[in-house]
Amino acid sequence: MSDGPVRPQRFSIRTDPGVIDDLRARLRATRWPDDTAAGGWSLGADADYLRELVEYWADEFDWWKEEAAINALPHLKVDVGGVGVHVIHARATDRSGPALPLLLNHGWPDSFWRYLKVIPLLADPGAHGGDPADAFDVVVPDMPGFGYSDRPPHPLDSIAVATLWAELMTQLGYDRFVTAGGDMGSHVSRYLALDHSDRVVAVHRMDAGLPRYSGDPADLTDDERAWIDAGAVWGRTEGAYAAMHSTKPNTAAIGLIDSPAGLAAWIVEKLRAWSDCDGDVETAFTKDEILTLLTQYWVTGTIGSSMRSYHANAAIPLEQYARRVEVPSGFSLFRGDVLMPPRAWLHRTANVVSVSEPGRGGHFAPFEQPALYAQELRDFFRPFRGALIT
């Protein structure tokens, strides 16, 4: 009998070939609605594009090639609070000095996939045109219920995930670290800084989330009030998916886990809408990149558990959003992202030491613009390297 926690175990992705055969058969048997010519992307997923993507997925996409490329990265499975967590742990190539541990947090509808392109740039900057002294020990976990992490016994909100990640970093040998994220990962990063401020040296975020404010609107600036109004408009016009996830996620999950074409429609529409692609999703992602993400969701069967995280987060008390982050905070606000928070809101809610507005990239900037995102993190975290206790 073990007296302590289970040590991290090496992990490789291994897909049952029968699952891929079944996937292809389902793709070829897709039933398409008969009224999709009208509207294009304005009514949701463009069926003409989806037909093209589904045909490619069924007959040309090479999942085995993508799986092998992913397995070239260093994967672990770590028992954290009784949940098996899949994590990529890429140690800095330059070990001449202490490397800064960097915990990267993904969102929805993605997984560790969000950071696939940027991991080598952060762990080995010298090989990619950067300064070797900027190397990080990069830690990229799949949140419980996402990717290759276990489904938790009940949906976890971002506060609970942050607590798990603090324990994860302990198990990986890091007392203090920096963290970054976007989308739901921005919330996880925020709660790490709020609830584990003794361990988080600095925090970097790509967004401020959707606006939630319970105070007197008169206390806000004009820019802040306009941002809150814009958030309400966005919720009415673009937020139907989130309302479904937050209230009745299992209803949608039954269809999405059974139909790969439905899964593609649900996710690809968001990849297009939230990226800096000027309406053409393939200017941000190739078909192979899109299908790598979709196939991960399919083979792991995690679309339902990923959506249920919204239900958990919807129950977070409003007063949690009023807490101010005192850990030094940086923001990179990419032009193609969903909503651009005003500077006044950032300073109201965090101890802001840096804000930048990169000229390219959107919600998935680490994947869309990996070199630019990597440089944002190198620049922001560089002054904090000396503060790390090793």
Catalytic residues: 183, 310, 363
Pick from 164, 30, 32: which is nearest to 87 by CA? 164
Distance separating alpha carbons of residues 138 and 119, to the nearest angstrom: 7
CA distances in angstroms from 193 to 65, 189, 202, 235, 315, listed in the order given: 38, 6, 8, 27, 20
The residue written with tokens 């790390």 in the block is 388
DSSP 8-state class, residue 114: G
User: Could you tell me where the beta strands, DSSP code E, fall in the chain?
Assistant: 9-10, 75-80, 83-90, 100-105, 136-141, 177-181, 200-205, 325-332, 350-356
Helix axes 249-256, 303-314, angle to 10 degrees: 170
Cβ neighbours around 149 below 10 Å, total: 25
Beta partners for residue 362, in sequence order: 336
Cβ neighbours around 344 below 10 Å, total: 14
CB 13 within 8 A of CB 75: yes
Distance separating alpha carbons of residues 92 and 42, to the nearest angstrom: 44
3-state secondary structure (DSSP) of residue 111? coil
CB 357 within 8 A of CB 382: no
Tokens of 140: 């990229």
